Amino acid sequence: MSSSYKPDKQTHVRYLIVLMLFAASALSYGDRVVLSITGIAMARDIHMGALRLGYLFSGFSWAYVAGQLPAGGLLDSFGSKRVYGVSIVCWSICGALVGFAGYLPAAFAFIVILGLRLVSGLAQSPVFPGNGRIVAAWFPAAERGTASAIFNSSQYFALVLFAPIIGWITHARGWKDCFWFLCVVGFVLSCIWFNVIYDVKDHPRINQREIDYIEQGGGLTSTGQSYGGIGKSGVLTWSAVKMLMSNRMLVGIYLGQYCITTLTWFFLTWFPVYLNQARHMSIMKVGFVTVLPAFCGSVGGVLGGVVSDKLLRAGYSLTFSRKLPIVTGMLLSITMIACNHSRAQWLVILWMSLAFFGKGFGALGWTVISDTSPKDMVGLNGGLFNLIGNLAGITTPIVIGYIVDRTGSFNGALIFVGVTALMAIVSYLPIVGEIRRVDFTFSARSGMMA
């Protein structure tokens, strides 16, 4: 413990930790956003239609989904600091290589860029399981909603921050420079990461009062040391996955996340293209116009977590405190369908801003995972949750690409996304039931429930 802290004054290192998670998650989403903004110019250079662009959008998620369970096991075995930090470096290198791939012949460039997006998706697979794991360790239960909402709001902030910058760079210098810009930002962030992130009890700036406060509130402060994955508690097994999948509450949470993530991937991939092609905005204008809906999503994302935690502190049940913002947010998201009946551009942005706000307000899946994960399976459960949720990253871009390609319109696409938001409500109400922490006990030798 550092001598600079008085023993009678509690430190607040956990706030620095969640700020770091927010920054890393924002960069991760910035790497996904960059393709949605540059995709319009890239499509012209390498001769891609709507369906092929949809496959390029979804390429990231194929490997991202495949990497979730291994990433969860690696996080539980080797710790969030090392696995997550290496992840940042790797996806930054992939971004730089995408920029260089733009100089290849058009037919070959598509294949190389798709391959690099696959690798980038694999590299980023530890990000959100790592976030969930770190929040479960660093925050008491009554603060997890806000903490999770802060890092989860990074997906909207990424649009607020990066969309105008990427739009301007694409307009002024070309789409390749956007990937090189993000690579530089990634290397800077990785240096900061390794100097800020530690396990709770190992952090050089924390004192015992903050550790006690976190532990007494239900924080899993020993997650980095006491619980392992490979070769320790044996949780990285198909038996463990099967046990998680046999729990009705967890299955409902997984399905709900798939539906909510469908909205995320619409906003991250096809939304800028929708504004350009269906609403006839220039690429540069798209970059700036997306700021308002994305800002509303950021506000909604943080506010949803704050409201949930306030309900919990006011004495409402964990189930009610988590479900109310989720259901309310998804109902607001359905309003995007009204864009099909709106001609004015300002009215479209208004409906999309409301839908973005609702999506953010209801995106409490990672909070619920921190509340429900078995203590020795936080990383694995987070990986499985993110795997199923991000299957939407594969299906959504392709389904929307198919609808647009077949109909020549985005109307069906908006209906598809709106109906999926409704299905998220179905998942959380009748399927999930009571929200509580799952308690599995494992045999160290067999990896089966004892």
Q: What pLDDT shows up at residue 98? A: 87
The model's pLDDT over 259-308, given as tens digits with 9 standing for 90+, comes to: 999 998 888 778 888 888 888 887 777 777 878 888 888 888 889 888 99
pLDDT of residue 58: 74
Q: CB 404: neighbour CB atoms within 10 A? A: 24
Banded pLDDT at 40 (limits 50, 70, 90): confident
pLDDT tier at 228, thresholds 50, 70, 90 = very low
Give the distance between the most distant pair of CA atoms in the chain: 67
Interatomic CA distance for residues 157 and 295, integer angstroms: 7
Question: What pLDDT sits at residue 93?
Answer: 94
Q: What average pLDDT does this structure show over 10-19?
A: 88
The pTM of the full predicted model, rounded to 2 decimals, is 0.69
pLDDT band at residue 143 under the 50/70/90 scheme: confident
Give me 196's structure tokens: 């800020």
Number of helices (H) and strands (E), helices first, in the chain? 21, 0
Beta bridge partners of 442: 449
Q: Which CATH number fits domain 13-431: 1.10.1060.10, 1.20.1250.20, 2.40.30.20, 3.40.50.1100?
A: 1.20.1250.20
Q: Which of 356, 357, 359, 386 is nearest to 370 (CA)?
A: 386
Output the pLDDT for position 190.
93
**pLDDT per residue as tens digits for the range 327-370:** 999 999 999 999 999 888 889 899 999 998 999 899 888 788 87
pLDDT above 70 coverage of the chain, percent: 90
H or E segment and range at residue 251:
helix 248-265
170 pLDDT band, cuts 50/70/90, is: confident
Backbone dihedral angles phi then psi of residue 23, each to the nearest 5 degrees:
-65, -45
Residue in 107, 127, 96, 39 with CA at minimum distance from that of residue 397: 39
∠ CA(327), CA(330), CA(334), 5° rounding? 140
Contact 134, 273 (CB under 8 A): no
What pLDDT score does 332 carry?
95
pLDDT digits (tens, 9 = 90+) for 61-117: 788 888 877 887 788 778 888 899 999 999 999 989 988 887 887 778 888 888 898
For 427, the token pair is 């998942």
Residue 148 half-sphere exposure toward CB, CA atoms < 13 A:
33
Q: Which two three-digit tokens encode residue 233?
A: 């508690």
* Mean pLDDT of all residues belonging to the chain: 82
Is residue 441's pLDDT more than 70? Answer: no
Q: Backbone phi, then psi, for 449, in 5-degree steps?
A: -70, 130
